[in-house]
Structure 1
């Protein structure tokens, strides 16, 4: 055959199969067939099947990918979702009863959340799971289902909530001994990080390599960061997320917390979402921006057609003013959370609202009328994102349904005034249990379980003797 004569290719060789877009997608597939192809294309060996417990901690099981796609039944003990942060369990009472059989709950993978685990050395994927009873009924007291219940209440009214969380956290030096206070990390300059770095680009640059890893890990999971800034605290950063569906955004916060912790460990630091990790430094918040759309028209119901504020906008704020104090235990879930909520600090201790007023609990940022929204500044970053979003949206919904009117907007500093929130975990748990309207929206099973857990955590905390007691009581009383 002459060298310049073209060689005929077979039909099979000329029609190479194009890789479907869903296989190349970084996050989520529609069904099990797509999941199998997605995993095979990446040579995934293991799958982490995870779900958030009441604290927002990832619980679940790991298995080989072949077993995951072979219709294997997954389950976790129901007790996992009744445990305290320290691993204990509440006592029966107040409507709560620990199940005698401690039966299994089914893990139902939500394939739209399938993504890789970028920090693992072996090819590993992860998927967030919902919880169901063995007969298929929804488990009402698990966090993801609690949020879905609130979204369903909006849906029945033809409404769709849109949210955008902002999460603050601290980078600190590794501290294996909990008896010693946390200290700021050493940055790129070789010096320990100091405070007063709000919005400082140099402050962000101190952690360039770590932040690069956060971006790379996030990109690998299909998570999108809107902005990242350095906050006022020493080694305190904030990540802002784009607005969207509440369940999807709660999933992203859940995954971001894992991601940021793993990136920090890679650089020999801890990332902590404690509300008040370092004495004398600002606390860490999880601010929540909220707007509500009409499902049929897609219009923001906070704004009238002429661009003015709607009644629904004011009623939403009124509902938050009335019910957020009763839901505080979902925004400030630990004893440490209340150390952040102090007068004359950046965290609000009031239920006031105002236009672009950061001393109020409920701030209305400057925006176009179509983007009108309400920012809830009370939640701390230690809150379970599913529960914080559920509580905030539930309070606003009660206001819309009951047409609760807010007071006048505050135009001055209001965080030096009287504290209008519960001052501790036990008081907050009691107010939570007694709010019948919140109980109706969130579900009786969740309210009784969650309140019981918080009471048990408080009793565990009361067993610990603090340095303050040794300093001021040891030789003086």
Structure 2
């Protein structure tokens, strides 16, 4: 046992210093990004190299129903072999005892990675970059709302009560006073993040009532996706300590901005470590423009992955701080593809379309896949957009059904993400969408019942 704990990451060792580890949560992300797995006594974890879960966890919809995605063998729920990635071992500081979480990777019985496991999908995309001599780097931004406890789905979601005793106010972007309103929750977020060894680049108030943004330092895509996966859980736990909910819905409150997961991308040359978006004279390279073209040309096909629910498309509202276009511009937040201000070594491309409701592994994988296709195709983007891109009509699907139609026909994207993943994902999302279409909304009852 001592040898095992001695090999833990530094933050986990600090968390357990002079304490007895009680339990280990063995977890893996499903398609929506929910942590699935088992909790085992620490003594048992020390003796096991792997554990089993049925592959059906990847066929389950967000409602708990099932997509018919099992393939030719049928729905027999065969076991996967889940092996721990000990570099992901981290604290679960909100628990009553001393607990660690460890993310696992999924393999079939022959030892091959399960192709529709989200973490494996992202690893596959990163491997394609490496085969070309490139190292992708990302920096995600996480937006979310702190809202009042909502125990009845029939009731509208409302902002949480702030420290002052007043509901959180909207349209106070970047206000430090607004951040102070959530001080106790933010303090716990910082404490939990520190215990887990995560470095927060900053927390700001966004434009929505009770809406916050957390920025993470740039780095390895898999590591950053792991952190977003962990962060969603720790933020929810911090909120629950203060009688509120944290939600990562793309659009939880009508007439408020939605929550995005903006993704910043750069690509390094593996041999030199240089950013391939800048040349020796610090100018923008052809690869820089090819990456942008890849996002423009393939992001509509990938939208069903980065905007995975019917609610996701409520975020794409003109003039509501969310892009409705695939234009690109320098330091222009109205474009779907933004080039932030930076020096040549930090030159990067920001994808502003992804919603915070997407699975972080799949959202980052899909965005990188579009950029990779652009690099391989070596096409040029449309001219840089100048001005307010919201003035246009938009050029992305506006409903999930249309986005799924594009995804299912996207042969080039499937070659990057994996055909087995594309098959399973499409079937599961169609099952969710069909289930949603059976629900009659209050709007329909109010306006159609007596008028049509």
Regarding TM over 0.5, the answer is: yes
Deviations 1:232-261 (A, max 9, x none): 000000000000000000000000000000
- Aligned with 2:223 (options 225, 248, 255): 248
In structure 1, the residue matched to 2:27 is: 50
Change (3 A) 1:39 1:111: farther
Whole-Å Cα distance in 1 between the matches of residues 43 and 74 of structure 2?
33
Deviations 1:189-219 (A, max 9, x none): 1111110110000000001111000000110
- Aligned with 1:135 (options 105, 110, 113): 110
**Farther off after superposition, 386-395 or 95-104:** 95-104
1:259 has 2:257 as partner? no
Task: Please say if residues 23 and 38 of structure 1, whose CA atoms lie closer than 8 Å, have aligned partners that are also in contact.
Answer: no
Secondary structure of the equivalent of 1:286?
coil
What RMSD in Å do the two structures reach over aligned CA positions?
A: 1.8
1:355 has 2:340 as partner? no
Q: Cα offset for 1:424?
A: 1.1
In structure 2, the residue matched to 1:417 is: 392
Change (3 A) 1:300 1:170: same
1:199 has 2:174 as partner? yes
Deviations 1:363-411 (A, max 9, x none): 0001101110000000010010000100000000101111011011111
In structure 1, the residue matched to 2:204 is: 229
Secondary structure of the equivalent of 1:233?
coil
1:124 has 2:109 as partner? no
Q: Cα offset for 1:115?
A: 1.3
In structure 1, the residue matched to 2:10 is: 25
TM value normalised by structure 1: 0.91
Change (3 A) 1:328 1:279: same
Alignment of 1:283-432 (within 5 A): 283-432=258-407
TM value normalised by structure 2: 0.96
Task: Please say if residues 355 and 363 of structure 1, whose CA atoms lie closer than 8 Å, have aligned partners that are also in contact.
Answer: yes
In structure 2, the residue matched to 1:475 is: 450
Whole-Å Cα distance in 2 between the matches of residues 355 and 390 of structure 1?
24
Secondary structure of the equivalent of 1:271?
strand
Task: Please say if residues 9 and 89 of structure 2, whose CA atoms lie closer than 8 Å, have aligned partners that are also in contact.
Answer: no
Query: What count of residue pairs does the alignment treat as equivalent?
Result: 449
Q: Cα offset for 1:39?
A: 6.6
In structure 2, the residue matched to 1:4 is: none
Secondary structure of the equivalent of 1:176?
coil
**Farther off after superposition, 343-352 or 388-397:** 343-352
Whole-Å Cα distance in 1 between the matches of residues 327 and 42 of structure 2?
51
In structure 1, the residue matched to 2:58 is: 81
Secondary structure of the equivalent of 1:189?
coil
**Farther off after superposition, 386-395 or 339-348:** 339-348
Whole-Å Cα distance in 2 between the matches of residues 319 and 114 of structure 1?
35
Q: Cα offset for 1:134?
A: 1.8
In structure 1, the residue matched to 2:68 is: 91
Deviations 1:419-474 (A, max 9, x none): 20011111111111111111101111000100111111111111111111011011
Whole-Å Cα distance in 1 between the matches of residues 223 and 74 of structure 2?
31
Q: Cα offset for 1:135?
A: 2.0
Whole-Å Cα distance in 2 between the matches of residues 122 and 278 of structure 1?
36
Secondary structure of the equivalent of 1:282?
coil
Whole-Å Cα distance in 2 between the matches of residues 234 and 292 of structure 1?
36
Q: Cα offset for 1:344?
A: 2.5
Whole-Å Cα distance in 2 between the matches of residues 404 and 97 of structure 1?
39
Whole-Å Cα distance in 2 between the matches of residues 459 and 421 of structure 1?
21
Whole-Å Cα distance in 1 between the matches of residues 251 and 391 of structure 2?
19
Task: Please say if residues 251 and 258 of structure 2, whose CA atoms lie closer than 8 Å, have aligned partners that are also in contact.
Answer: yes
Whole-Å Cα distance in 2 between the matches of residues 104 and 24 of structure 1?
29
Change (3 A) 1:372 1:447: same
Whole-Å Cα distance in 2 between the matches of residues 172 and 98 of structure 1?
44
Change (3 A) 1:163 1:73: closer
Change (3 A) 1:23 1:426: closer
Task: Please say if residues 96 and 448 of structure 1, whose CA atoms lie closer than 8 Å, have aligned partners that are also in contact.
Answer: no
Q: Cα offset for 1:121?
A: 1.0
In structure 1, the residue matched to 2:43 is: 66
Task: Please say if residues 163 and 291 of structure 1, whose CA atoms lie closer than 8 Å, have aligned partners that are also in contact.
Answer: yes
Alignment of 1:28-43 (within 5 A): 42-43=19-20
Task: Please say if residues 330 and 383 of structure 1, whose CA atoms lie closer than 8 Å, have aligned partners that are also in contact.
Answer: yes
Secondary structure of the equivalent of 1:336?
helix
Whole-Å Cα distance in 1 between the matches of residues 110 and 384 of structure 2?
50
Task: Please say if residues 345 and 415 of structure 1, whose CA atoms lie closer than 8 Å, have aligned partners that are also in contact.
Answer: no
In structure 2, the residue matched to 1:33 is: none
In structure 2, the residue matched to 1:157 is: 132
Larger Rg: 1
Whole-Å Cα distance in 1 between the matches of residues 9 and 123 of structure 2?
29
